[in-house]
Structure 1
Amino acid sequence: MKEEEETAVKKSADAPPSLRRSRVRSEIVMYLYSKYPKVSHPEEVSRDTGIDLKNVLWGLRGNGGWFKESDALLKQGVVEQVEHGGSTYYRLAERGKSMIESMHKSQARIKR
């Protein structure tokens, strides 16, 4: 993810606090935004972002520890889970897409 996009997520009032606090969740969201509306497998997200697979899964679903389930991207409604052919894929939900687009508009206004 571009550094300015990560900063935009962290500063955005539109982003949930759990997203602003986590580089992993921020990068997952921006990656899924770049693929929208296509689905992505967690291994693909891990490979393309350089984030360890278990951290990708914890960011998406939570783990009950450092990555609380209540802060998980799925629980926040930012990402949706899609089952296909016995595998689980993830896609940015409409809420997540709207949030990113709102942040981009805010950043564009600030730069003017």
Structure 2
Amino acid sequence: MSLAFIDPMIIRSLNKSKLRKKILYLLYKMYPHGIYLSEISRRVKSDPSNVLGCLKGMNGRYNGHFSLIELGLVECVEKGGIKIYKLTDYGKKIVEVLKDQDSDFIDSLRW
């Protein structure tokens, strides 16, 4: 596989938040399908407001510039008024580059 350029802001964002990383790897596992916010929350064992903060950003606590959507790793697709979050193609490439160095972290995840 060819190495993709990884924006240093992505590395910084993921290293600053284990929850962002968990969400990203969960969405990678679900790829190419999406998943509801409540289901992401249940699977990563975190409050929906924290998960939403990681995905979209939230006043002060989660900077929107470092959110998974703002970084282009995740997209929100609305179908019939229901929001589904899924990994973008770019997000998939980033996870594939990072997963080797994150193997211990990935092994610690229990879905």
Q: What TM-score comes out, normalization by structure 2 length?
A: 0.79
Pairing 1:101–2:99 present: no
1:67 Cα deviation after fit: 0.4
Aligned partner of 1:35 in structure 2 is: 30
CA distance in 2, matches of 1:76, 1:14: 8
Aligned partner of 2:109 in structure 1 is: none
Deviations 1:87-107 (A, max 9, x none): 111001111100111123557
Higher share in helix: 1
Deviations 1:12-47 (A, max 9, x none): x79431111101101100110110000111100011
Deviations 1:41-82 (A, max 9, x none): 110001111111110000000002110011110000010110
CA distance in 1, matches of 2:71, 2:60: 17
| Counterpart contact for 2:36–2:85, Cα < 8 Å | yes
Tell me how many residue pairs correspond in the alignment: 96
RMSD: 1.9
Instruction: Give the letter for the 1:60 counterpart.
Output: L
| Unmatched tracts of structure 1, length 5 or more | 1-12
Percentage of pairs with the same residue:
33
| Unmatched tracts of structure 2, length 5 or more | 1-7, 104-111
Pairing 1:71–2:36 present: no
Instruction: Give the letter for the 1:41 counterpart.
Output: Y
CA distance in 2, matches of 1:105, 1:57: 27
1:58 to 1:14, Cα distance in 2 relative to 1, 3 A: closer
